[in-house]
Amino acid sequence: MAAYIFRRILLMIPTLIGIMAISFVIVQFAPGGPVERVIAQLTGTDVGATARISGGGGDFAGVQGAGAQGADAGSSKYRGAQGLDPEFIKKLEKQFGFDKPPLERFFIMLKNYATFDFGESYFRSISVLQLIKEKMPVSISLGLWMTLLSYGISIPLGISKAIRDGSRFDVWTSAVIVVGYAIPGFLFAILLVVLFAGGSYFNWFPLRGLWSEQYNGMPWYHWITDPRAMADYFWHLVLPLIAMAISAFATSTLLTKNSFLDEIRKQYVTTARMKGLNDRQVLYGHVFRNAMLLVIAGFPGAFIGAFFGGSLLIETIFSLDGLGLLGFESVVNRDYPVVFATLYIFSLIGLVVNLISDLTYTWIDPRIDFESREV
């Protein structure tokens, strides 16, 4: 097993490099860029911005005066740079690192990322790691609790549906699951806001943040020791989690049901019953271990999706400033250090979670041997 783990870890290196290389090439051909963003903001033509230039973007004072000297900049490669001083454009390029060739910039990025040095945001006076750290509580809260809630519902429900296959319970739960799956999460979130968060009817739940103002800045260990703070935290999470989970457990529920049905119909189950084992012993002593393998196979994707990928609209609707919103704003603002850093971190976590998933296979079913398998 140690050799298999070592090979998988080694394979993560070219996989990460490939992901970053493809993303880097796509960005080179994407229209716009941080230089164009600054030019658009300075000339008043920026209509798609979600962040303004702060100290992290460099010192751009006196640009209006520099523009008067730049009448010969009509041939600039940057849209909207006509009339700006070419020296100022060069200063912008150096500020953002665009004075170097793309290949050199890519290898510098890889070298820095190997030591988890992600630099600073282009448009905020803060390091990328610190920025991600500030947004993590929201994404951890949404992703962790949504994953636990989703699997906590889908596995027992899927098993119950498999045992009662074709019954009235199976039919009406399937109808509920299909309807829930068909409703977009953001649309259900808006409905919840209208009904229960002071929209038009009841004002039972808060609409902003993860906790009330009196708990801002509280050390993490106080959340465990203060029941009121913990209750306030979960009270803020009720509506976002319902909106995210309403369709999240549909796929895993049906996967669990079909996996258990497939195992229940196999010969070894009949043999076990003939030996005198009751249904509970057969189900949890024999079927469960084999049927759960397929469910576990889908866990990494569900985990990563819930953790980082599926919460942008939910964060926006419930005013939760998490990684989903950060990633969207960074792409719109062409804040490339944040874009590439979050991509790198998420990809690395995804690869590690996939490895953990494979190792979980062997824990559930010791008959699986990855040592004898070619990676």
Same-domain check for residues 245 and 148? yes
Q: Tell me the C-alpha distance between 28 and 128, whole Å.
A: 21
Domain final residue pick, 99, 118, 138: 99
DSSP 218: -
User: Domain for residue 234, yes or no?
Assistant: yes
Structure tokens at 140: 């951890």
Structure tokens at 167: 């019954």
Same-domain check for residues 71 and 133? no
Question: What residues does 120 pair with on adjacent strands?
Answer: 127
Domain count for the chain, please give it: 2
Share of the chain above pLDDT 90, in %: 6
Neighbouring residues of 302: CB distance < 8 A, sequence distance ≥ 6: 147, 150, 151, 248, 252
User: Domain for residue 356, yes or no?
Assistant: no
Write out pLDDT tens, residues 37-72.
Answer: 777 767 666 555 454 444 444 444 444 444 434 444
User: Domain for residue 193, yes or no?
Assistant: yes
Same-domain check for residues 60 and 152? no
367 versus 254: the higher-pLDDT residue is 254
- The reported pLDDT for the residue numbered 17 is 93
Same-domain check for residues 95 and 203? no
Same-domain check for residues 195 and 269? yes
Confidence grade of residue 77 (pLDDT, cut at 50, 70, 90):
low
- The reported pLDDT for the residue numbered 83 is 61
Q: Residue 18: is its pLDDT beyond 90?
A: yes
Domain final residue pick, 47, 81, 99: 99
Least confidently predicted of 157-166, 220-229, 234-243, 304-313: 304-313
DSSP structure string for 149-199: HHHHHHHHHHHHHHHTTTSHHHHHHHHHHHHHHHS-HHHHHHHHHHHHBSS
Confidence grade of residue 78 (pLDDT, cut at 50, 70, 90):
low
Q: Which region, left, alpha or beta, applies to residue 44 given φ > 0 means left and ψ of -120 to 50 means alpha?
A: left
Same-domain check for residues 200 and 310? yes
Same-domain check for residues 92 and 133? no
Mean pLDDT, rounded, of the chain = 78
User: Domain for residue 123, yes or no?
Assistant: no
- The reported pLDDT for the residue numbered 21 is 92
φ/ψ of 83, rounded to 5, equals 95, -10
Domain CATH number, residue 296:
1.10.3720.10
| Domain housing 67 | 32-99
User: Domain for residue 255, yes or no?
Assistant: yes
- The reported pLDDT for the residue numbered 19 is 92
Same-domain check for residues 167 and 297? yes
Same-domain check for residues 92 and 141? no
Helical H runs in the chain? 2-29, 34-43, 63-68, 86-96, 102-114, 128-163, 168-182, 185-196, 220-225, 227-245, 249-264, 267-274, 279-282, 288-297, 299-304, 312-317, 323-332, 336-364
178 versus 34: the higher-pLDDT residue is 178
User: Domain for residue 149, yes or no?
Assistant: yes
> Which amino acid makes up residue 23?
S
User: Domain for residue 362, yes or no?
Assistant: no
Q: How far is CA 265 from the centre of its chain?
A: 38
Q: Tell me the C-alpha distance between 53 and 125, whole Å.
A: 9
- Nearest one of 313, 311, 321 to 145, comparing CA atoms: 311
Write out pLDDT tens, residues 148-174.
Answer: 888 888 888 988 998 888 899 999 999
Domain final residue pick, 99, 121, 141: 99
Same-domain check for residues 43 and 187? no
4 versus 21: the higher-pLDDT residue is 21
Same-domain check for residues 148 and 246? yes
Q: Residue 337: is its pLDDT beyond 80?
A: yes
Same-domain check for residues 204 and 248? yes
User: Domain for residue 109, yes or no?
Assistant: no
Write out pLDDT tens, residues 185-199.
Answer: 788 888 888 888 876
